[in-house]
Amino acid sequence: MLRFRGPLERAVVSLVSKTDEQWSFIPISDHLRADLNDLGGPAYREPLSSSCQLDAKRLPGALYVLEGSSLGAQLLVKRAALLGLSAHHGARHLAQQTGDPKRWPAFVKTLERHGTEHPEEAVRGALDAFAAALEAFRHDD
Ligand code: HEM
């Protein structure tokens, strides 16, 4: 997940503007690093530069994938709890993703208000984000 989200979140953060919307982007890469550390995971060397071609028009699609995965996290956080993992150990990123159930509907509102100007580019951004996830999960080093 860190291999997927690390570079993408950095690209997103460089593009999102602070607004007074109900929703704002919260990266979880730091939580993923802490979870890896909790679990004694292998040292992870992040790529220095991101290979993702993200721009403002594609951003809504990338955000859709990043935020949408919090819906699946609702399921995963319960399974992680059965393994003894929590907001303080090993499941910090899942706790962050699931802590506020109002985030998803607030994001959808923001998306509907600002994310529909360039639908084809937005879809490209979502497809690229899914492709980046597939690529990241393929690695086993
Ligand atoms: C690359 C991004 C994503 C990843 C890595 C991801 C990962 C996962 C995983 C591992 C599960 C649990 C599957 C299981 O074991 O049953 C899941 C479930 C789910 N995901 Fe995703 N997901 C992503 C994007 C999205 C998006 C964009 C949405 C919707 C906008 C979404 C909605 C859901 C929902 C609703 C579930 C729960 C399904 C159920 O209750 O059975 N996910 N996801």
Residue 18 region by backbone torsions, left for phi larger than 0, else alpha for psi between -120 and 50, else beta: beta
Which atom of ligand 1 lies at the shortest distance from residue 79's CA? 15
pTM of the model: 0.93
Q: What pLDDT score does 17 carry?
A: 76
Does position 100 have pLDDT exceeding 90, yes or no?
A: yes
Pocket test for ligand 1, best of 69, 76, 103 (most atoms within 8 A of CB): 69
User: Distances in Å between the alpha carbon of 59 and those of 22, 45, 51?
Assistant: 18, 25, 15
Q: Is 38 helix (H, G, I), strand (E, B) or coil?
A: helix
Q: Which domains does the chain have, with CATH numbers?
A: 2-16+25-138 (1.20.910.10)
- pLDDT band of 44, cuts 50, 70, 90: confident
CA–centroid distance, 51 to ligand 1, in Å, is 24
- CA 94 from chain centre, in angstroms, equals 11
Q: What pLDDT score does 90 carry?
A: 98
Does position 49 have pLDDT exceeding 70, yes or no?
A: no
Nearest to 87 by CA among 67, 105, 73: 73
